[in-house]
Amino acid sequence: MDTKNESLESSLKVPSVQELALQNPKKVPQRYVRDDGDDDFCTFSSSDPFLTIPLIDMAKLVNADTQQDQLHKLHLACKHWGVFQIVNHGVSSLKNMGNQVKRFFELPLKEKKIWAQKPGSLEGYGQAFVTSEEQKLDWNDMIFLKSLPIQNRKLDLWPQNPPKFRETLEKYSEDMRQEAKSIVSFITLALGLDDTKISESFHEGLYDIRMNCYPPCPEPERVLGIVPHADNSGITLLTDFADFPGLQFLKDGKWVGVEPIEGAIVANIGHIIEVMTNGIYKAPEHRAVVNKTKERLSIVTFCYPTASMDIAPAEKLVGEGNKQVYKSMTHAEYFNRFFNRKLDESFIDSLRL
């Protein structure tokens, strides 16, 4: 059977992992098992408990007395980790959004399927990047929606159950836009880039939201919630609703778990900021692992600059002995490359000059 897709902008239908978990299987189906003959998976399967993801205090970034110190911390976090947790950010919609997502995933499958992906699109309730019936599957269910700009919304895929889902998501994405703009402006400050073009480009930017449900798994060490990857975003803002580490980042060859902090936002650099900073900041590899008894929910906002902004190294960071490392592309060229990439090749390497 030929099940190959032309582009990664659509994905094959897969079973619901929540439904699978509800049947209380003793073993996971073979299609989810990652450890048969895959050495890499075994070597990387434990997380380093001695390393911790840096914390960035937003209140200190906006306060003139503490800004320099905190900017330096931000610079080190971006340079050495590519990820940090933001505290004291003042965003008020996280909890409400978390409740809506929880209630959505609690609906019967039939009800969730009203909002299912349609052929040729990644939006809606379903799965991403599944291109063959042989491919190993992630232990998660998700719903993916484009939220900003408003004209990108496909409201026919936006759940109306629970009843406040839509209005809560509207508020949440607006909050994420504000947060992304300020983080990106502090990132450009930390790099000494005095132009505001980059941070402004996130004002009219694109905000796509992926809501994940990772059900409990009878053999958690044999599966992955999400396979290792780096994000194609500018930055990614993630809210974690679990009380155990599920998200892990690769740091110097070791997986480091993100210890959830209630009310914090996990921010990571994506490929676009990697290109724009000419590789000074890199998009980190990360993955999600799952738990034997507990479900985990996460909400992930992929933040992109506006479509009229080229994806290219900032002028100030190249020249005078600094070689340009990445290609300069239009927004459309960048996405074209991303959706037509080969899943077994490094996307970021394909962007190098």
Ligand X SMILES: O=C(O)CCC(=O)C(=O)O
Transcribe 82-129 into DSSP letters: SEEEEES-----HHHHHHHHHHHHHS-HHHHGGGB--TT---EEE-SS
- Which lies closer to Fe ion via its Cβ, residue 44 or residue 114? 44
Residue 210 binding ligand X, by CB under 6 A: yes
* x-or-dash string of contact with ligand X, 224-253, rule CB under 6 A: --x----x--------------xx------
The option from Fe ion, ligand X, none interacting with 282 (CB < 5 to 8 A, set by class) reads: none
* x-or-dash string of contact with ligand X, 297-326, rule CB under 6 A: -x-x--------------------------
- Which lies closer to Fe ion via its Cβ, residue 141 or residue 231? 231
The option from ligand X, Fe ion, none interacting with 248 (CB < 5 to 8 A, set by class) reads: none
CB of 135 to ligand X, least distance (A): 17
Tokens of 159: 């759940």
Among residues 138, 141, 179, 231, the one that binds Fe ion under rule CB under 5 A: 231
Distance CA 12, CA 120 (A): 9
Alpha-carbon radius of gyration of the chain? 20
CB of 128 to Fe ion, least distance (A): 11
- CB neighbour class for 305 (10 Å; exposed up to 12, middle 13-18, buried from 19): buried
Spell out the alpha helix ranges (H) of the chain: 17-22, 39-43, 58-62, 67-80, 94-106, 109-112, 165-190, 197-201, 271-276, 331-339, 347-350
Q: Within 13 Å, how many C-alpha atoms sit on residue 142's CB side?
A: 25
Q: Count CB-CB contacts under 10 A for residue 110.
A: 7
221 backbone φψ class: left, alpha, beta (φ>0; ψ -120 to 50): alpha
Residue with tokens 């209140």: 59
CB of 44 to Fe ion, least distance (A): 16
CB of 266 to ligand X, least distance (A): 8
CB of 169 to ligand X, least distance (A): 16
- Which lies closer to Fe ion via its Cβ, residue 231 or residue 274? 231
**Given the rule CB under 5 A, which of 106-114, 204-212, 227-235, 316-324 is the region that contacts Fe ion?**
227-235
Hey, which residues between 333 and 352 contact ligand X (CB under 6 A)?
none
CB of 266 to Fe ion, least distance (A): 10
Look at residues 34, 9, 57, 5 and name the one whose alpha carbon lies nearest to residue 226: 34
CB of 318 to Fe ion, least distance (A): 27
**Given the rule CB under 5 A, which of 99-107, 155-163, 228-236, 324-332 is the region that contacts Fe ion?**
228-236
- Contacting positions for ligand X (CB under 6 A): 210, 212, 226, 231, 246-247, 286, 288, 298, 300
